[in-house]
Structure 1
Amino acid sequence: MHAMQYEVTFPADYDMGIIRERVATRHAFTDTFAGLGVKAYLMREKGVDSSPVNAYAPLYLWRTPEGMNTFLWGPAFQGLVADFGRPVVQHWAGVAYEEGATATGAARTAVRRRMPVEAGAELPELTAESVQEVARLASTDGVLFAAAAVDPRTWELLTFSVWDDTPPKTPGDIYQVLHVSQPERERLQRGRQW
């Protein structure tokens, strides 16, 4: 599994209805995209759930690198680039993925937590703890799925969970989920990714 996210930020007075409409009219393309486990179409609105910004920030869990590459080098991503400019694409190597206790519910909210991996951290211990954290999150009532991944270039740990409602106090950035494309979600490897 590979996690990927880009974020497009907008001015404070930007009409986020434009993003809602964009997702509503374009998500069908990724609903059947080969190699894609999950694409969560995420949005933040300034002042909602303590968000300091307006942003469109979809997060992907790729089942195959070929699917990810086909997306990035193909017309779908180029459409985003044409409309908003080319964003930085963040990428993390998968550590763990689990289906949640509410695996078939409707996605409403997502939580993304990014933490630096300290220079002295023992990587086997860190990844083992991340696998346990994903399992704990997935067993929480209201969680549809959860994942963890690491960017070994910047040494950042990403933990990501999707909920059927507003989660209890959970550290991280809270996003509204506009849609979830999940063409190969059932084929994502569960548990640890090595």
Structure 2
Amino acid sequence: MHALQYEITLPADYDMGVIRHRVESKGHLLDDFPGLGFKAYLMRERGRAGSPVNQYAPFYLWNTAEGMNSFLWGPGFRGLVDDFGRPVVQHWTVLAHEEGPAATASPRAALRHRQQVPATASLPEYAAELADEARRLAGRDGVLSATAAIDPRTWEAVHFSLWDHASPEGAGDVFEVLHLSTPEREKLARGRQW
């Protein structure tokens, strides 16, 4: 599985209603996209939930590389590039994915925690610790799902979780979930991915 996210940081006085309208009018377009486990349409507003910026930052969990590539080289991403410019696309290989006790609820918030993998860390042990943390996180009340992933180019690890309430507990960036497309969520592999 592959995790993917891009961040479009907008001016401090940007009308975030534009982003809300964009998601309301276009969010459904990926509700049946082949190869996509889920896409969380995420937004942060400056001054809310500790956010220093206005930002549109969707997070994707892909079942297949073919689906991810079809999106990146297709009309959906091209439309985003036409409207906002080409963002840097962050990409991580998934170490673990778990469903939580609120798996059937509608998500209201997402929590993303990024960290550098210490240069002295034993990679097998560190990966196992990240997978265990995803399992523990997924067991908390209000969690729909928790994912741990790593970018072996930059050695950055990310924990991403979806919550059924607006104030998730934990360190990291809090996002409002505007929409969740889940065409192949039931196909997402659970547990460790190695």
TM-score by length of 2: 0.99
Q: Give the direction of change, closer, same or farther, for the CA distance of 1:168–1:177 in structure 2 (3 Å limit).
A: closer
Cα distance in structure 1, aligned partners of 2:83 and 2:166? 31
CA RMSD of aligned residues (A): 0.7
Matches within 5 A, 1:1-194: 1-194=1-194
Cα distance in structure 1, aligned partners of 2:179 and 2:103? 15
Cα distance in structure 2, aligned partners of 1:108 and 1:31? 18
> Which digits, 9 at most, give the CA deviation of each residue in 1:129-182, with x for residues without a partner?
111111111110100011010000000000000000034531000000000001
1:106: how far off?
A: 1.0
Partner SS, residue 121 of structure 1: coil
Cα distance in structure 2, aligned partners of 1:45 and 1:4? 21
Which residue identity is paired with 2:55?
A: A
CA contact under 8 A between 1:109 and 1:167: conserved in structure 2? Answer: yes
User: Gaps spanning 5+ residues in structure 2: where?
Assistant: none
Partner SS, residue 27 of structure 1: helix
Cα distance in structure 2, aligned partners of 1:131 and 1:137? 10
Which residue identity is paired with 1:89?
A: V
Cα distance in structure 2, aligned partners of 1:86 and 1:166? 30
How many residues align structurally? Answer: 194
User: Gaps spanning 5+ residues in structure 1: where?
Assistant: none
CA contact under 8 A between 2:110 and 2:168: conserved in structure 1? Answer: no
TM-score by length of 1: 0.99
Cα distance in structure 2, aligned partners of 1:27 and 1:11? 23
Cα distance in structure 1, aligned partners of 2:170 and 2:28? 31
